[in-house]
Amino acid sequence: MKLKQTLGGGLALMLVLLSAACGGTNSGNTNGGTPDASPTEVASNNGADSSKGLTGEFEIQYFVGGYGDSWWKEVISGFQAANPELKITQSAGPNINDQMRPRWIQGDTPDVVFIDGAGSNERQMIDDGQLMDLTEFLKEAENTDGEKLTDILISQPTAYEGTKNYTLPLVFGSWGLFYDKAFFNEKGWKAPTNWSEFVATNEQVKASGISSLIHTGVYPYYINGGLVDSAIVAGNGGDGSILTQQANLEEGSFSGPAVQKALAQVVELVDKGMIDPGAVSLNHTDAQIQWLQHKAAFIPSGLWLENEMSKDIPEGFEFGFIPSVAQGAGENNIVIPYTNTIAIAEKAKNVEAAKAFVQYAFTKANAIRWAELTGALMNIKADLTNTSASEVVKEAMAFFNSDTTTVAPVAVLNADVEKAKQDATIALTTGRIKAEEWMQRLEAAAAKVRK
Amino acid sequence: MTQSARRRTFFIIFLLPTFLFFCLFTLYPIVKGVQISFFDWSGGTKEMDFIGLDNYKQLLRDPIVGTAVGNDYFLVVGKVIGIMLLATFFAVAVTRLNVWGKNVYRVLFFIPNVISVVVIGVLWRYVYNPNLGFLNSFLSLFTSERVQTAWLGEPHTAMMSLLWPSIWAGIGFYMILLVAAILSIPGELYEAADLDGASQWRQFLSVTLPLMWEQMKVSILHIVMTTLNGSFILVWIMTEGGPDNSTQVMGSYLYQMGFRQYHMGYAATIGVLILVLSLLTTIILQRVLKRETIEMA
């Protein structure tokens, strides 16, 4: 009996402790959620151009993945030198998105966030009201060299809810098909510029006994980005607005004639046995290694590929890049871009410094440093000819600047629809479903989210 | 202090901290998880909408949940049978049978337990690799055409291919458990059985098996529980639930929903499902496996 009482007492104590713990967190939330007025005030008094620079505290969160962190460290230390009074905190690392999640939930957010890597999704952050509306800021904003930001961007900020901008693309790249130029020369194969050439090359490749197209079956968004999406835009007469319609979940945008045409092309590859039968079970590393070892001729991927695989590239391998193959003869190439964006938190405590950092970072000089340090492209029209950016990036840049290329808008699908699209595509490429079911699944997924 | 008061203090000193930690790290998360399952919550903000049983209704209609539950129980049954058969066989072999190099085998079979599950997943991905993997290369020795089966990519082979690494990784631990059980059986019982002319098989059935039944029961329950709660890791590393959700287990679907598709409320509902199914399965198994305890005199 006594023991029971004691245990009961213990339980009561436990509950008290728990509620105290919860109360503590809650009050922490409220404090964290309310922007601390003082630093912002001081900062705005001084202004960005004052000799003393910004003051108060400034926190930036950035994911460290394929692009490394040397560019960030360099730019942030430059920003620090320009604002010696500002106390800068860097929250960075390969798991930073998960590490910072509790703070985002509690409203204790950093000021600026680079949205990249697993566990980050800009559409979801916007839906959750985590990002600041930058529409007005971007209309006027100039960088520290006095250039208007929107004038020097390659890809304009994605418009949400029709006209609102919440993010600014920092990294710009393109999906596409990659091949080994040296291998193609040796075999006498021609790099295709349209669909019939692509099919013809595939026949030749297949006849030589290797697979024509290998892809990352565990991550079907690679083949979506590198083949299916550009086929949809090509099927739409080169008009990329269809991707925006899909991102806006418009009814019928996943089953129109453009989509039908694109899926028919995928089915043609399946029927002719041009997709590596093992690809369905491969992750990106497996698929890329096999492609580097000439087990297949083409692989859909993004411009980061060369950098990512730099340690495993065999001697004499020459990266070739084709943005799209689905277009008819004489039609424009389609570039399906991807971006990684930077944004200011809705609950940023030092908005002034956050904006100043964006203006400081988006310069042509920093864009060149980005290309040199990461091997990828920053979303700024900068002349890379004399830089150490990789050849494949320069080749892609030539496509972006060409008259015969259409750059599609960046469209970010809702996560549920994105997953449905990946599942449907992998089922389609293994011949397990027909094109009709692909369209039905996507229309159903979009309808469910619209509700 | 009276004797009973001292006793009580003694109990409190040992029980209370454990109880507090149990509440904080087990009870509280469970209660919180159940609570979240009644909300529509993305997991990225403070805003939560109470939606009552809607998540549970969706759970019942979701075809992927059916696949996931089926896959989980496929692994449970496969692992229980595979691991128990092999672990028992090996345990008997290294204790009762005169196998050469007994100790070497004990160490060998235990090695997978020292390796992280992540490494096991990656290793077996190589084994199953359709173009470069060991399995297809081996099979190709016997066929005229090169075998290119995508073991992890075809719905009818993918789950089977996930089962073998799970069994391989589990044998060693349960073997050690059973070896300990067998070694605790007094040698006189076997001597007596020998004198009575009992064969090795008879000895196994009438002496070894009844006397290590408790350990086997614990092993089976442990396999069931760890599979229902932990099959996630291997699945996530080897297939991520794909292709087209055919290898999804409850844990991987929970992760997918919570952290990839931002439905933390629904993910919590899947968590509740795992909890309920684990409890039910354990209770049912406890009953099924109940045997009269045989005590050594």
DSSP chain B: --HHHHHHHHHHHHHHHHHHHHIIIIIHHHHHHHHHTTEE--SSSS--EE-TTHHHHHHHH-HHHHHHHHHHHHHHHHHHHHHHHHHHHHHHHHHTS--TTHHHHHHHHHHHHHS-HHHHHHHHHHHH-TTT-HHHHHHHTTSSSPP---TTTSHHHHHHHHHHHHHHHHHHHHHHHHHHHHHTS-HHHHHHHHHTT--HHHHIIIIIHHHTHHHHHHHHHHHHHHHHHHHHHHHHHHTTT-STTTT--HHHHHHIIIIIS--HHHHHHHHHHHHHHHHHHHHHHHHHT--PPPPP-
Given this model, what pLDDT does residue A250 score?
A: 94
Identify whether B271 is part of a domain. yes
Dihedral pair phi/psi, residue A100, rounded to 5°: -85, -10
Distance between CA atoms of A1 and B32, rounded to whole angstroms? 30
Cβ of residue B138 closer than 8 Å to a chain A Cβ: no
3-state secondary structure of A99: helix
- Give yes or no: residues A276 and A143 share one domain: no
The pLDDT of residue A428: 97
Distance, in angstroms, between A80 CA and closest chain B CA? Answer: 30
Kindly state whether A192 is in contact with chain B, defined as any CB-CB distance less than 8 angstroms: no
* CA atoms A191, A178, A208, A435: torsion sign: negative
Domain assignment present for residue A110? The answer is yes
List the structure tokens of B204. 């196994």
Give B46's contacts in chain A (Cβ within 8 Å): 29, 33, 105-107
Contact B219, B182 (CB under 8 A): no
CA distance from start to end of chain B? 41
pLDDT of residue B295: 63
Q: Tell whether A424 and A302 lie within a shared domain.
A: yes
Residues of chain A with pLDDT under 70: 1-52
Is there a domain that residue B209 lies in?
yes
Q: How far apart are CA B286 and CA A331, in angstroms?
A: 69
> pLDDT value at position B85?
95
> Do B1 and B88 lie in a common domain?
no
Instruction: Please state, in angstroms and rounded to a whole number, the distance separating the CA atoms of residues B284 and B279.
Output: 9
Q: Is some CB atom of chain A closer than 8 A to the CB atom of B8?
A: yes
Q: Do both A204 and A294 map to the same domain? A: yes
Closest-CA distance of chain A to residue B9, Å? 10
The pair of three-digit structure tokens given for residue A360, joined into one six-digit string: 């400081």
- Asked if residue A287 and residue A430 are part of one domain, the reply reads yes
Give B 163-222 residues with CB within 8 A of chain A: none
**Is B95 in the same domain as B19?**
no
pLDDT in tens, A314-326: 999 999 999 999 9
B42 vs A3, A128, A283: nearest CB = A128
- Look at residues B28, B26, B64 and name the one whose alpha carbon lies nearest to residue B266: B64
Looking at the structure, do residues A329 and A364 belong to the same domain, yes or no? no
- B17 and B68 in a single domain? The answer is no
Min Cα separation B87/chain A (Å): 30
Same domain, residue pair A396 and A325: no
- Position A6 in a domain: no
Q: Are the beta carbons of A3 and B129 separated by less than 8 Å?
A: no
Q: Which of the residues in chain B have pLDDT under 50?
A: none
Are residues B210 and B109 part of one domain?
Answer: yes
Question: Looking at the structure, do residues A287 and A425 belong to the same domain, yes or no?
Answer: yes
**What is the pLDDT, as a whole number, of residue A35?**
38
Report the predicted TM-score, pTM, of the whole model to 2 decimal places.
Answer: 0.85
Nearest CA of chain A to the CA of B138: how many Å? Answer: 16
DSSP codes, A4-49? HHHHHHHHHHHHHHHHHHHHHHHHHHHHHHSPPHHHHHHHHHH-TT
Beta bridge partners of A344: A112
Please count the structural domains in chain B. Answer: 2
Comparing alpha-carbon positions, the chain A residue that sits nearest to B161 is: A281
**Which of A7, A281, A283 should we substitute to test contact with B (largest number of B Cβ atoms within 10 Å)?**
A281
Domain of residue B17: give its range.
1-31
Q: Please measure the distance between the N-terminal and C-terminal CA atoms of chain A and give it in whole angstroms.
A: 56
Which residue range is the domain that position A244 belongs to? 173-338+408-450
- Segment (H or E) for A405: strand A405-407
Same domain, B4 and B103: no
State the sign of the Cα–Cα–Cα–Cα dihedral A59, A61, A67, A69.
positive
Q: Is residue A160 part of a domain?
A: yes
DSSP state of A324: -
Same-domain status, B20 and B164? no
In a domain, B294, yes or no: no
Residue A26 within a domain: no
Of A13, A290, A432, the CB nearest to B131: A290
Do A75 and A103 lie in one domain? The reply is yes
- Name the amino acid, one letter, at A102: P
**Among candidates B20, B132, B243 on the partner chain, residue whose Cβ is nearest the Cβ of A217:** B243
* 3-state helix vs strand vs coil in chain A, percent to 5: 50, 15, 35
Mutation for testing the A interface, residue in B7, B261, B264 having most A CBs under 10 Å:
B261
Within 10 angstroms of residue A88's Cβ, the number of other Cβ atoms is 17
Q: Is residue A18 part of a domain?
A: no
Looking at the structure, do residues A227 and A114 belong to the same domain, yes or no? no
B271 and B230 inside one domain: yes
How far is B275 from chain A, CA to nearest CA, in Å?
23
Residue A87 and residue A42 in contact, taking contact as beta carbons nearer than 8 Å: no
Let me know if residue B293 belongs to a domain. Answer: no
Contacts of B154 in chain A (CB under 8 A): 280, 430
Which residues in chain A are contacts of B150 at CB distance < 8 A?
A: 217, 277-281
Question: Who among B42, B131, B245 is closest to A278 (CB)?
Answer: B131
Q: Does the distance separating the beta carbons of A127 and B131 come in below 8 Å? A: no
Residue A386 near residue A380 (C-beta atoms within 8 A):
no
**Which helix (DSSP H) or strand (DSSP E) does residue A61 occupy?**
strand A57-63
Place of tokens 């001292």: B6
Inter-chain CB proximity B261 and A277 less than 8 Å:
no
Percent over 90 (pLDDT), chain A: 67
Residue B251 lies in a domain: yes
B96 with B146, same domain: the answer is yes
B171, B245: one domain: yes
Helix axes A96-106, A2-33, angle to 10 degrees: 90
Q: Does residue A339 sit in helix, strand or coil? A: strand
Question: Residue type for B99, please?
Answer: V
Q: Cβ-count burial of A237 within 10 angstroms (0-12 exposed, 13-18 middle, 19+ buried)?
A: middle
Residue B127 contacts A, CB cutoff 8 Å: no
In a domain, B245, yes or no: yes
| B23, B240, B262: residue with CB nearest A14 | B23
Task: Please report residues of B whose CB lies closer than 8 A to that of A4.
Answer: none
A328 touches chain B (CB under 8 A): no
| B8·A29 Cβ contact <8 A | no
Residue B295 in any domain: the answer is no
Strands (E), A137-290: 168-180, 211-213
Q: Are residues A195 and A330 in the same domain?
A: yes
Residue A435 forms contact with B (CB below 8 Å)? no
Using CB atoms within 10 A of its CB, is residue B73 exposed (0-12), middle (13-18) or buried (19+)? middle
Do B181 and B213 meet the contact criterion of CB atoms below 8 Å apart? no
- Choose one of A361, A380, A401: the last residue of a domain: A401
Q: Are residues B234 and B206 in the same domain?
A: yes
Following CA atoms A155, A161, A165, A167 in sequence, which dihedral angle do they give, to the nearest 10 degrees? -80
Residue A5 within any structural domain of the chain: no
Measured torsion, CA atoms of residues B11, B13, B16, B20, in degrees rounded to the nearest 10:
-150
CB contact under 8 A, A423 and B23: no
Q: Are residues A280 and B154 in contact, defined by beta-carbon separation less than 8 angstroms? A: yes
Judged by a CB distance cut-off of 8 A, whether residue A125 touches chain B is yes
Asked which of A377, A401, A425 is the last residue of a domain, the reply is A401
Chain B residue numbers touching A295 (CB-CB < 8 A): 131-132
Q: Between A33, A130, A277, which is nearest B44 by CB? A: A130
Coil, strand or helix at A298 = strand
Count the domains in chain A. 2
Asked if the interface predicted TM-score (ipTM) of this complex is over 0.95, the answer is no
d(CA A375, CA A309): 12
Assess if residue A25 is contained within a domain.
no
Q: What percent of chain A lies above the pLDDT cut of 70? A: 88
Q: Is residue A213 a part of any domain in this protein?
A: yes
Does B28 contact A at CB distance below 8 Å? yes
* Chain A touched by B77 (CB under 8 Å): no
A99 CB near a chain B CB, below 8 Å? no
Find out whether A209 and A276 touch, Cβ atoms under 8 Å: no
Say whether A281 and B42 touch across the interface (CB within 8 A).
no
> What is the distance between the alpha carbons of residues A268 and B85, in angstroms, rounded to a whole number?
48
Question: Quick check: is B9 in a domain?
Answer: yes
The one-letter amino acid code at B167 reads: I
DSSP-derived secondary structure letter, A278: T
Q: What is the number of other CB atoms lying within 10 angstroms of the CB of residue A190? A: 13
8 Å CB contact of B259 and A119: yes
- Tell me the three state secondary structure of residue A111: coil
Domain with residue B254: its CATH number is 1.10.3720.10
CATH code, domain with A420: 3.40.190.10
Quote the minimal CA–CA distance from B290 to chain A in Å. 30
Same domain, yes or no: B44 and B146: yes
| Contact state of A281 with B45 under an 8 Å Cβ cutoff | no
Residues B66 and B81 in one domain: yes
- Evaluate whether B204 touches B92 at the Cβ level (below 8 Å): yes
Could you tell me the CA-to-CA distances from B169 to B24, B38, B83, B123 in Å, in that order?
32, 37, 9, 12
Amino acid B292: pLDDT: 65
CB contact under 8 A, B153 and A129: no
A 17-36 residues inside an 8 A Cβ radius of B: 17-18, 29, 33
